[in-house]
Amino acid sequence: MSPDHRAEMSPEIDDQQKSPRITVFGRDFAMPRSRAARVAIGVALILGGILGFLPILGFWMIPAGLLVLSYEFAFVRRWRRRVVVWWGHRRARGRSAR
């Protein structure tokens, strides 16, 4: 049997697709499979972060929301990559000065 034929025979292979994951500080967090749910979570985190002066909510929610949205939108992904590269250069400069 060819691998293509086996894939056609077992529909559970498609059901076993892994959900997208976000890695933050070495920890993996699973995101919902639904794109709409991921966008809703990202927007909710950003809106909650804007209200960061209130108890429980915090300004930490803004970058978390942007991180979630970066998996869906290219312009946010480019911003995130620029920040990661900037941070890497900054850390490298700090280590070379020691």
Domain layout of the chain by residue ranges: 3-96
CA 42 to chain centre: 9
The alpha carbon of 32 is separated from its chain's Cα centroid by a whole number of angstroms, namely 11
pLDDT digit string (tens) for the chain, length 98 residues: 445 444 444 444 444 567 788 877 788 888 888 889 999 999 999 998 998 888 777 888 888 899 899 888 899 999 989 988 998 999 888 777 66
H or E element, residue 69? helix 61-69
80, two tokens: 């995130």
End-to-end CA distance of the chain: 61
Task: Reduce the DSSP state of residue 84 to 3 states and report it.
Answer: helix
Q: What is the pLDDT of residue 17?
A: 66
* pLDDT at residue 25 in the model: 77
Query: Which residues 6+ apart lie within 8 Å of 60 measured at CB?
Result: 49, 52
